[in-house]
Amino acid sequence: MKEKQFVIVSYDIADEERLRKIAKIMEDYGFRVLYSVFECYINRSLFEEMKTKVEKLIDHLEDSVIYYFLCEHCREKIEHIGRTPFYLEEEKVEVV
């Protein structure tokens, strides 16, 4: 993944303190679209950096983090309903 890749990060963190720390990390790499969901458009090295930071913080028995990699074609098919995040407005993405 030399070029940038679109990654959806979804997480379920059992402890509130860990949850805040994970969210803080994620804010450095992407945009929050839901409470525990971020969209990131990053290259492989930044992804690995983010993933390493997250893995150091989570409790592997209590917490869950899922990374979804979407191609550009799949990204174009994303539909959004409701309040539009500010970055979608800037990109002028069509909102349903």
Q: Which residues are annotated as a binding site for Mg(2+)?
A: 12
**What are the binding residues?**
12
The three-state secondary structure class of 93 is coil
Contacts of residue 29, Cβ cutoff 8 Å, sequence gap at least 6? 38, 40, 42, 46, 47, 50
**8 A C-beta contact, residue 30 and residue 4:** no
